[in-house]
Structure 1
Amino acid sequence: MLLTNLSQVLTRNDDLLHASSTLLVNMPQDNFADHLKQLSQNSDITFFDTQYDAHLFHQSFSYANAVFSSCYKSEHLHDLVIMTFPKSKAELNFILAMLSESLTEDARILVVGENKSGIKSLHKLTQSYHQFVEKIDAARHCLLFEMAITTLPKFTLEDWYKTYHITINNQSCTIAALPGVFSQNGLDKGTKVLFNYLPSNLSGQVLDFGTGAGVIATYLGKSNPNIALTLADVSALALASAEKTLSLNGLTGKLIATDSLSAISSQYDHVVTNPPFHQGTKTHYAATETFLAGINRHIKPEGSLTVVANSFLKYQPIMEKCFMNVSVLGIQQGFTVYSARGKSRLSS
């Protein structure tokens, strides 16, 4: 497998990559780890991913440890951390604070990112955390920085949740979200529109796919006390946020980490989703299109799918190939809400 541009920039700086214990944080899905292993045969390598698809890929490296979690902790200290600049700037200090207790005193931290990712502001964003930040290299439209961080207070995940309150159709909900989680700062427009068209009097098994902080599931759970909730997302930070949100609202649900439909196996009476279509700074449709093309296999014969999406996204033709009945429930503020029922024979 070819190395991504991010990894190619790193391999231009092999002198910085020698270590006894390396932690790779949210790194691209390529073979950069093989390059590290060739440089230091005796080095321990650990992957830490907050995205489940990346975790599944990194699990294939038999010589490395692979951790998928919202919070990384290790008694074994690392002397080298290599991390990609996160898609959300709010996530940056969260990750650095989290890792601080798992580093040796002289640990080297390398941060790599695309020029347009926001990495140019690394020095400013980490000014309360770093001892120094130095640009090391620039190539292939990417930047590489080295930095060291100061001694920080003990990291506690609870300190990083941001909470806010919403009232929808007379239902009051408390939402908790970690940095980088969709809708961390408030209810997004798409979900606001979706709330106007959600099916009423739900019963049975309900799946909130791409749950984020659990906003949709929480509203459904409080409005329909007899349903059994399942919340699915690719992000460990989202799942931790959704679990916290459920708890704050006196609800329970099953949480599933999944790459699109990879871990979805049950049959549901209703599936509701405001699917993401951005991956970092890029527009990315593949995961949602795969979901729409396959979710009918997980909906009971009399069940339904309700989707809200930006109106410019061409999701309706995909749904019409998989469901017998697809209708538009409403269009507001640039978003369209779709309802789908009945498995199409063409999709069997």
Structure 2
Amino acid sequence: MRSARLSRAIDTGLFTLPSEGRIAVLRPRIGDELGDLPRDRLLVATGFRPDHDWFAARGYACAPHATGEFAAAILCLPRAKAHARAMLAEASLLVAKGGPVVVDGQKTDGIDAVLKDLVPRVALSERLSKAHGKLAVFAAGADLSDWAARPAQVDGFTTLPGVFSADGIDRGSALLAGALPADLKGRVADFGAGWGYLARKVLSLSAVKECHLVEAEADALDCARLNIVDDRAQFHWADATTWKAPRGMDHIVMNPPFHTGRGADPALGAGFIAAAARSLNPQGALWMVANRHLPYDRSLTTLFREVAEIGGDGAYRLTRAAFPIRAR
């Protein structure tokens, strides 16, 4: 979808790539094809670890953030409006004045609203519509600084636009934090740690020896480093589904994500459960919150000897799963 719009925009002359200089591609997603762009000049800048690793495995230069000056930038629109605006402000500063900033996104991700917001701020090109999305171009140099990402404070935690639950503590996570036993001890991992809410609760317990915060979104992990000042905390920018624990964990806490796009994807949560089973020691326990409608029972009962519901409410279920079953 994105590649079709990029190809058409280049072929029709909607924008011309500069003949030299680096090109930043901001936040592309797994499966996005960038074949019409000069690979040796590209930097794929994405803080989402699965996307980063997918492009790196295909030979692209990758980094969680773009730094320095670029001749052009291609912005792959995220769903969150505040995040999209922050990326536009970033791109306008990254690119040399007058260089092209390409804005591309799906209609379901709000591209129409973003382009409408840009109209009074920049000289926006003709819009190219294709494959259920739109693409437009403007010249770098416009002052979009009022859209720049700014940290927010949520009940004593620092958050940033684009991270999960940036505007407030997630209710499911709050339920899980309240259900964790006071005698939790040993080595603990927080899968999908976000900006550190659950990990701070874990580290408030004196018998915890170490807490590994495993988070795929670099911006969220940067917030967690600010929110948690504790020598027992270890921070891992990693996809929890593939992370390898340095040794068996005694406990894992998690509020696993279940969206890869607009629709629910229960396979993602199931991947978190499988990773937890691999990462726990033989007597270890998983403490999890999830929406009640998500079909995780089969994964839990297949991978753990003991599975029990320990609380929740009408929307969320709290589960303790212990004694992971090892494959023979």
TM-score by length of 1: 0.84
Q: Does 1:50 align with 2:47?
A: yes
- Superposition pairs for residues 1-348 of structure 1, below 5 Å? 5-14=1-10, 15=13, 16-19=15-18, 20=20, 21-30=22-31, 32-37=33-38, 44-62=41-59, 64-68=60-64, 71-74=65-68, 77-126=69-118, 130-152=121-143, 160-165=150-155, 174-224=156-206, 226-247=208-229, 253-266=233-246, 267-345=248-326, 347-348=327-328
For the 8 Å contact 2:70–2:94, the answer to whether it is kept is: yes
> Which residue identity is paired with 1:245?
N
Distance in 1 of aligned mates of 2:37 and 2:108? 26
Moved more, 144-153 or 207-216: 144-153
Greater share of strand: 1
Cα-to-partner distance string for 1:151-198 (whole Å, 9 max, x where unaligned): 54989x9x7211121xxxxxxxx2111111112111112112212321
For the 8 Å contact 1:73–1:99, the answer to whether it is kept is: no
Distance in 1 of aligned mates of 2:16 and 2:3? 12
Distance in 1 of aligned mates of 2:216 and 2:168? 20
The count of aligned residue pairs is 321
**RMSD of aligned alpha carbons:** 2.4
Distance in 2 of aligned mates of 1:90 and 1:153? 13
Cα-to-partner distance string for 1:312-348 (whole Å, 9 max, x where unaligned): 0011210110000011111303100010001225x44
Distance in 2 of aligned mates of 1:182 and 1:88? 10
For the 8 Å contact 2:183–2:207, the answer to whether it is kept is: no
SS in 2 for 1:33: coil
SS in 2 for 1:340: strand
SS in 1 for 2:66: coil
TM-score by length of 2: 0.89
Cα-to-partner distance string for 1:125-148 (whole Å, 9 max, x where unaligned): 4578x4233442111111112123
Distance in 1 of aligned mates of 2:16 and 2:193? 37
Moved more, 94-103 or 332-341: 94-103
Distance in 2 of aligned mates of 1:253 and 1:297? 21
Shift in Å at residue 216 of structure 1?
0.4
Shift in Å at residue 257 of structure 1?
1.8
Query: Which 5+ residue runs of structure 2 have no aligned equivalent?
Result: none
For the 8 Å contact 1:93–1:126, the answer to whether it is kept is: no
Distance in 1 of aligned mates of 2:318 and 2:237? 25
Distance in 2 of aligned mates of 1:151 and 1:308? 44
For the 8 Å contact 1:17–1:36, the answer to whether it is kept is: no
For the 8 Å contact 1:202–1:227, the answer to whether it is kept is: no
Query: Which 5+ residue runs of structure 1 have no aligned equivalent?
Result: 166-173
Using a 3 Å threshold, how does the CA distance of structure 1 residues 203 and 127 change in structure 2: closer, same or farther? farther
Shift in Å at residue 99 of structure 1?
3.4
Shift in Å at residue 243 of structure 1?
1.1
> Which residue identity is paired with 1:46?
L
Distance in 1 of aligned mates of 2:111 and 2:145? 26
For the 8 Å contact 1:72–1:99, the answer to whether it is kept is: no
For the 8 Å contact 2:100–2:140, the answer to whether it is kept is: no
